[in-house]
Amino acid sequence: MAKHKKGKKRGKGSQRIKAKKVDPSVPSVEKKKELSISAIKEGTVLDHIPEDATFKVAEILHLGHHNGTVSVAANLNSKSMGKKGIIKIEGKFLTQDEVNKIAIVAPDATVNIIKNYEVKEKIKVKSPDVVDNVVKCSNPVCMTNNEQINTKFYVVKKDPLKIRCHYCERYMGKDDLEIV
C-alpha cells in the first residue's frame, strides 16, 4: 500500500506538492506555496486533474461549502500531462457517485482515499452515459434555465467531450460547461 506521508515516496503529483525537502534554487514564494498544501490525515486526494478543469472539479464537488481544509493546486508541472491540478480535501471521503460526477471534466483523474496519512483506497473515475444535475445547459431558452428542474445530459462523445441536453437537445462541448 502506498504511503501518503511527508518525506515518503508517493504518487507523482502528491509527492511534488508535499515534499518537505526543499530545493534551495526555488524562490522563497514557491517554497511557501509548496508547504501550504500539506499532506492530509483523513480525506481525499484528487490528482491528475487536467489543468483547465481544476476549479471546475472543485465546483462540481461543492468544495466551497466544505467545512474541513481544502487545498487546491493548479498549473503544477506534470511529466505525463504537461500541467495538471491537485485537490486535497480534509475530512471528506468521496463516494463513487461523487467521483463519477467529475468524469466529464477530469476523466483520467486519480482519486485516493486517505486514512491516517495512508492511501486506503483508489477510486477509478467512471465516465457516465448520463450526467445528472452537474452542469447547466448553455442554451438560454432551454427549459432548465427557466424553471427549477434538474439538468440532464447524455454523453455523446467522451473525447473531445460532447454532451446533449435531455430537454432542449442542444449539444455542448467542454468549453460550454458551467457548473450547476
Residue from 24, 117, 38, 110 nearest 70 by CA: 38
State the minimum distance, in angstroms, from the CB of residue 146 to another protein. 5
Interface map 25-64 toward another protein (x if CB under 8 A): ----------------------------------------
Q: In the complex with another protein, which residue's Cβ is closer, 77 or 150?
A: 150
12 phi-psi bin (left φ>0, alpha ψ -120 to 50, beta other): alpha
Residue from 2, 106, 86 nearest 36 by CA: 86
State the minimum distance, in angstroms, from the CB of residue 156 to another protein. 9
133 to 51, 108, 122, 128, 166: CA distances (angstroms): 23, 21, 25, 13, 11
State the minimum distance, in angstroms, from the CB of residue 134 to another protein. 17
180 binds another protein (CB under 8 A): no
State the minimum distance, in angstroms, from the CB of residue 60 to another protein. 22
Give SS3 for 10.
coil
State the minimum distance, in angstroms, from the CB of residue 56 to another protein. 23
Q: Which three cell numbers stand for residue 15?
A: 509527492
**What residues does 179 pair with on adjacent strands?**
135
Binding segment (CB under 8 A) for another protein, from list 25-33, 37-45, 84-92, 142-150: 142-150
Chain residues 146-175 in contact with another protein, contact rule CB under 8 A: 146-149, 165-171
Q: In the complex with another protein, which residue's Cβ is closer, 2 or 168?
A: 168
CA 148 to chain centre: 27
Note whether 166 and 152 are within 8 A (CB): yes
Q: Which of 119, 142, 163, 177 binds another protein (CB under 8 A)?
A: 142
Give SS3 for 119.
strand
Chain residues 81-140 in contact with another protein, contact rule CB under 8 A: 139
Name the site residues for another protein (rule: CB under 8 A): 139, 141-144, 146-149, 165-171
